[in-house]
Chains A and B, each alone.
Chain A
Amino acid sequence: MTVTSQSISAARIVVDDRPLPYEAGDTVADAIIRSGQHPQHGGTLCLAGDCGNCSAVVAGVGFTRTCQTAATPGLDVRRHPLVGGPPLRNPVLADPTRIAPPVEVAVRRAHVDVVVIGASTAGRDEAGAAAAAGHSVLVLDSGSGDDVVGVYQGPTVIVRRADHMLHVHAHEVVIATGAAELHPVCEGNMLRGILTPDAAAHLAARGIELHDSVAVDIDDLDHFEGDDGWVHTVVTRDGARHACHSVVVGSARRAPRDLLARMTDEPSVRVVGSAAQRFDLPPAPQAGTVCPCSKVTVDDLDGVWQKGFQHLELVKRASLCGTGTCQGGVCMPHLRAFVADRSGTEPAPFTGRPASRQLTIAEAAADVHLDAWRRTALHDEHLALGAHMDRFGGWWRPWNYGDHVREYWAVREAVSLGDVSTLGKMIVSGPDVVEALERLYPCNVADIRPGRSRYALLLNERGHVIDDGMILRESDHRFALSFTSGGASFAEMWVRDWIETWGLDVHVLDRTFSLAAINVTGPLAGELLRRAGLAEPPKMLQHVHADVAGVPCHVMRLSFTGEASFELHHLTAHSVELWRELMRLGADLGIHPHGLQALFGLRLEKGHFLVGLDSEMDSTPARLGLDWAVKMEKPFFIGRPSLARTASLEDSRRLFGMRMDGPAPLEGAPIFDREGGEVIGHVATSFTSPLLGHTVLLGWQKRLPFLDAVFIDGRTATVAPTPFYDPEGARARL
């Protein structure tokens, strides 16, 4: 291709480190072609955004279509390597001292009745009709800078714009993207200097003159010849040879520009105009490159076909034809013609997938938010006390306050406060509430008296433990329930869904976020509560509503730490004042708050398991050693049929308490049957007990027969009954 510049502009882009002038209104591709070069290393140019033959690294973003990118002063452009793709940039590896700041891309949203993609005649007609019908309409067009990236469920249309991403939420999407020109597939079709008619017209309009150009119809074309990468001869089927410096290949056939339509099967997405038209396929390709993006030739297609990949989707996957930048924009009609020729059946087009346009991670992630990690009402108190906060169960929680051993001893020997506001909390009330809870829980509920409580497992239909907590009876027809912090959201859905399914008359109110909770625990916990005005703290497994330090509380007596423990549930608005007053009143008692690190050890000494940490997805009560919490004599509860069916089967999984000398092994450490033997399980959680002077752990054995002694970290661990600490439970009842 010989080109001439009408004038030389002062403005320049930088292509492969060399300044290159451009004219006002040029795209990057225009400027490169104006200089007598090719944006890539060959292949037919459409300059309409349909193919990937002009893509390059633009401003650091690879596979950018230069024909759709405006030239701007100093814009950095690097052509892809002749072989392979552009190198991945890793600025951290390149220079660890210069980590690029995070890039944030703005997002705008639009809510419309109808979004029309493509300002073609059909698109304009659709937009006009929708507007006339009183609908709000948005027209997106590449000519206006709208780079439609994809059509997602909703339907939602994601659009890339120069300075932001646009997310369009519409009732209806109309795709009116028109039809694309066919690219020639024959020997020599990856030479430089080959254009479609529309590309030639575009260049002419831009003042970029093609010299010694030949026009040929695709049906008359036999092959191209060239040297040094540029075409110099077109050979037609009649054997005629036409010398040239460029060639324009036309065709009466076109191909629907339907990539966006192929991304979705949403009924609210319509394709209109040429994009919906069924065009005749071209003749099956005989030679040359079918897929310029993935450099797949006719020989490659024949190769995979002969290996048995004889379906369009299989040919695509096996050869990678159609998996490149344009996702079939160029190769689809030729690939379908190839399969139709070999199979005798015309195949339907293959599925398209977002993104249809190259975009950066920042653009893809724009306005994507993870669910918020919540803070308890005491968050700032913890920080003021030097807490190291960490994320557990969807909440920021204190891991420790700098010295978890001190926190441990405060619980064992004095009194401590723990923030358990994160526990799931619920009130259920109604005439059918006992019936509902008897069905939901495997333990007995009806015999829990008002003012009393009971520990309970929550099972799914398979009899697997999904959560645990307390059932606290407040009156004949009203209960409070508690759940684990991480399981609270699911438990709420679980309870609501079942009650609704059963059609029982029960009200449900989730109080997880409404109530804060402070666990007052330790041998001096009762004394602290008396100082706070609770003259008669409840006995073990009792609960009362009473003021503590002037704050209305639901006081629950239970024990997770193994010491006397009182959970004070109260409105979040009062949490800080209650915490501070308890800390003040307990100062001379040696009060010190404890974090999760100490709590995990304290409860492990008692052998209490943690749902999700010690249990697995298919842990039954028996596997956890919790048969006592299941009353099979009940006629029904969720999970009972499964437990009844499997009761007589031999089970090779069991969570055991174990003890060993030396430091605690890591959670997940393998458990061996003997030194150098086979792995038979793993450590769930472990703790080096300051009080007991050795390590205690919960570990899974998953092979029969269960062993009394195993090997962990090269040391012997022996199975030991739980609780490891205060097995009679006297401390908790102090």
Chain B
Amino acid sequence: MPASDALEPMRFATLMAVRITAKPAAIDAASWPVGAIMVRVAPDDALVIDATVDDAAAVAAVDPHAIIEPEAMFRGAWLDAAQLTALTHKLEWPLPTARPALAQGMVCGLAIKLVMQADRTLLIVSGSALHEVPDRLGAVA
């Protein structure tokens, strides 16, 4: 990986979020606080960063069987364009070109999610595997 020394190190922080499994329409019906990031992992599965269980009341109103739980297992680091380019060299799958977008899959044996915004990307990894990031994605940092 060339020029890795010139990249800023990744700085991970615990993502405080709410995790929802519910009927898609129930998730669609919810609105989220300003600044919250909704990561739609699947049509019936959402991770809403910087939101709480209380913020998801609208989901439960539509789908009384929805599972709505606080979530603190993920760690996230914002990548700039150079870091994302460096990460691309480790991907076996192509990144979406449209923005915003969500990409998720295995990279160097780690399950990651990439929340891709116009000017930056949030790299999400499970806290249980965070210790492996330096060795496996070290050149990104």
- Give the B-binding residues of A (Cβ under 8 A): 106-109, 111, 156, 167, 169, 367, 369-377, 379, 395, 427, 429-431, 477-478, 505, 507-509, 511, 513-514, 571-573
Contacts and interface: CB of A to CB of B under 8 A. Distances in A.
A477 B90 CA distance: 43
Interface string B1-41: 10000000000001010010110000000000000000000
B73 A507 contact: no
Contacts of B14: 573
Nearest to B126: A513
A109 B91 contact: yes
Nearest to A154: B92
Given A369-B136, A372-B109, A376-B128, A507 B65 contact: yes
17 contacts: A107-B89, A109-B90, A109-B91, A111-B88, A111-B94, A156-B92, A167-B92, A370-B109, A376-B128, A377-B127, A427-B69, A431-B65, A477-B65, A509-B69, A513-B126, A514-B71, A572-B128
A372 B136 contact: yes
A375 B45 CA distance: 25
Interface of B: 1, 14, 16, 19, 21-22, 44-45, 65-67, 69-73, 88-95, 108-110, 126-129, 131-132, 136
B93 A169 contact: yes
Contacts of A395: 128
A142 to B, nearest CB: 23
A507 B89 CA distance: 37
A561 B63 CA distance: 40
Contacts of A573: 14, 16, 72
Among B1, B88, B89, max chain A CB count under 10 A is at B89
**Candidate in A156, A379, A507 with the most chain B CB atoms within 10 angstroms:** A507
B108 A508 contact: no
Given A375-B128, A513-B128, A507 B67 contact: yes
A106 to B, nearest CB: 6
B22 A109 contact: no
Given A367-B108, A477-B65, A572-B127, A509 B19 contact: yes
Max chain A Cβ within 10 angstroms of own Cβ: one of B21, B65, B70, B93:
B65
A371 B89 contact: no
Contacts of A371: 109
A111 B97 CA distance: 12
Given A369-B136, A377-B128, 7 more contacts: A107-B90, A108-B89, A374-B129, A375-B131, A427-B69, A429-B21, A507-B66
A375 B1 CA distance: 27
Task: Give 7 nearest A-B pairs by CB, closest first.
Answer: A369-B109, A374-B128, A573-B72, A372-B132, A372-B129, A514-B73, A507-B21
Nearest to A108: B89
B67 A572 contact: no
A174 to B, nearest CB: 19
B44 A507 contact: yes
B108 A478 contact: no
Nearest to A433: B65
A607 to B, nearest CB: 32
Nearest to A370: B109
Contacts of B70: 571
Given A111-B94, A375-B131, A507-B21, A429 B66 contact: yes
A501 B132 CA distance: 36
Nearest to B110: A372
Contacts of A367: 90, 108
Given A369-B108, A374-B129, A514 B88 contact: no
Given A377-B127, A429-B67, A508-B21, A169 B72 contact: no
A513 B127 contact: yes
A437 to B, nearest CB: 14
Contacts of A109: 88-92
A441 to B, nearest CB: 20
A715 B89 CA distance: 60
Contacts, number: 87
B65 A478 contact: yes
Nearest to B107: A369
A540 to B, nearest CB: 26
B65 to A, nearest CB: 5
Nearest to A109: B89
A111 B91 CA distance: 9
A429 B65 contact: yes
A571 B18 CA distance: 12
A565 to B, nearest CB: 24
B97 to A, nearest CB: 11
Contacts of B129: 372, 374-375
A198 to B, nearest CB: 36
A384 to B, nearest CB: 15
Contacts of A108: 1, 89
Contacts of A571: 70, 72
A169 B92 contact: yes
B105 to A, nearest CB: 12
Contact of B65 (A111, A374, A430): A430
Contacts of A373: 132
Contacts of B128: 374-377, 395, 513, 572
A14 B131 CA distance: 45
Nearest to A169: B92
A430 B26 CA distance: 14
B81 to A, nearest CB: 17
A482 to B, nearest CB: 16
Contacts of B67: 427, 429, 478, 507, 509
B41 to A, nearest CB: 11
A514 B19 CA distance: 10
A572 B21 contact: no
A598 to B, nearest CB: 24
A515 to B, nearest CB: 8
Contacts of A370: 109
Contacts of B88: 109, 111
Nearest to A112: B94
Given A370-B109, A478-B65, A507-B66, A513 B132 contact: no
Contacts of A509: 19, 21, 45, 67, 69
B109 A572 contact: no
Contacts of A505: 65
A571 B74 CA distance: 11
B72 to A, nearest CB: 4
Contacts of B71: 514
A373 B72 CA distance: 20
Nearest to B64: A477
Contact of B1 (A106, A376, A379): A106
Given A111-B94, A169-B92, A477-B65, A572 B72 contact: yes
A169 B105 CA distance: 15
B131 to A, nearest CB: 6
Given A507-B67, A573-B14, A514 B72 contact: yes
B130 to A, nearest CB: 8
Contacts of B109: 369-372
Contacts of A572: 72-73, 127-128
A507 B22 CA distance: 7
Nearest to B131: A375
A169 B91 CA distance: 10
Most chain B CB atoms below 10 A, which of A167, A370, A514 = A514
A156 B95 CA distance: 16
